[in-house]
Amino acid sequence: QVQLVESGGGVVQPGGSLRLSCAASGFIFSTYGMHWVRQAPGKGLEWVTFIRYDGSSKYYADSVRGRFTISRDNSKNTLYLQMNSLRAEDTAVYYCANGEGGDYVAFDIWGQGTMVTVSS
Amino acid sequence: DIQMTQSPSSLSASVGDRVTITCRASQGISNYLAWFQQKPGKAPKSLIYAASSLQSGVPSKFSGSRSGTDFTLTISSLQPEDFATYYCQQYNSYPLTFGGGTKVEIK
C-alpha cells in the first residue's frame, strides 16, 4: 500500500545536528514532490520545506532556511532532511508528505511522523 | 506570505449536527486550498483539495466550497469519528501556510 515512514528523530542538544529520513513505498516516488511539515507540541501545523520530484527545485520556510537542507534519492525511494544548528523552537513532530506532479499541488499521503526534541 | 485565518478555533457539536468551518486567505489563491483532519496523536489526513474535490476514500459527508478568498468545510452530519482538529492550507504560493486549526468537540 501507499506508505511514508519517517525515522531519525530523537533528542539533540541546542546547536546540534540530526538527519531525518522518509521511506516511500507503494507509489512511483520519482514522480512526486515531497514536503516536510512539523508540529510543535500542542501547536498547529507548520510547513518546513519542499523538493521537486527530480530534486531540481527546493523551497524553505524562513524559520529554517540556511540551517535545514532537503534532499532525495530516487533510486532508494527516500527523502531526507538534514537539520543543523538546531534550536529549542525546532522541537516538534516532523511529518513528510507527498504531492503528485509539480510544485503547486495538494498533499496526498502523510507519514506517521518522527519526534525531534532539542534540549540540553 | 499568505495568511490563512480559520474560524472558529473550536466548536462544540452533537452527533448528527451540520458543522461549518471557515478559512479566509489574505490574498487571492484561486482554488489552491486543501483541508486536513487530525486526530489526537495521529498524523493529519488529507480530506479535500482544490477547494472542493474529495480525496479518494473520503466520505461524501465532507464538502468544500469557495467564495472569493473565503473557503468553507462542511460536515453534513457529524459522527463520533469526526471529532478531531481540522486545518486549511493554501498551496498557491511558497511558503505554504496553514490555518490555525479548528477543534471539533463533543457537546
Q: Give the pLDDT confidence score for residue A118 in this predicted structure.
A: 98
pLDDT at B51: 97
B25-62: per-residue pLDDT in tens? 999 999 999 999 999 999 999 999 999 999 999 999 99
Residue of A nearest to B86 (CA): A44
Predicted confidence at residue A102, as pLDDT, reads 87
DSSP state of A29: G
In chain B, pLDDT over 70 holds for what percent of residues? 100
* Per-residue pLDDT reduced to its tens digit, A45-66: 999 999 999 999 999 999 999 9
Contact A107 B36 (CB under 8 A): yes
Q: What are the percentages of helix, strand and coil residues in chain B, rounded to 5?
A: 5, 50, 50
Query: What average pLDDT values come out for chain A (120 residues) when binned by 10 residues?
Result: 97 98 97 98 98 97 98 98 98 96 91 98
How far apart are the C-alpha atoms of B35 and B44, rounded to whole Å? Answer: 10
Residue B107 pLDDT level (bands cut at 50, 70, 90): confident
Structure letter (DSSP) for residue A118: E
pLDDT over 70 for what percent of chain A? 100
CA distance A107 to chain B (A): 7
Please tell me the distance in Å from A76's CA to the nearest CA on chain B.
24
CB contacts, 8 Å: B32 with chain A: 104, 106
Spell out the residues 6+ positions from residue A101 whose beta carbon is closer than 8 angstroms to its own. A31, A32, A33, A53
Does B97 have pLDDT greater than 90? yes
- Alpha-carbon A58 to chain mean position: 12
The size of chain B, in residues, is 107
How close, in Å, is residue A66 to chain B by CA atoms? Answer: 15
Instruction: Give the burial class of A62: count Cβ atoms within 10 A of its Cβ; 0-12 exposed, 13-18 middle, 19 or more buried.
Output: exposed
d(CA A25, CA A9) in angstroms, rounded, equals 20
Exposure string for B20-31, b = 16+ CB within 10 A, e = fewer? ebbbebeeebee
A77: number of Cβ within 10 Å? 17
Q: Which residues in chain A are closer than 8 Å to B98, comparing Cβ atoms?
A: 44-47
Looking at the DSSP assignment, which residues form a beta bridge with residue B104?
B11
Q: Which three cell numbers stand for residue A71?
A: 534532499
Q: Classify B82 as helix, strand or coil.
A: helix
User: Tell me: the pLDDT tens digits for B64-94?
Assistant: 999 999 999 999 999 999 999 999 999 999 9
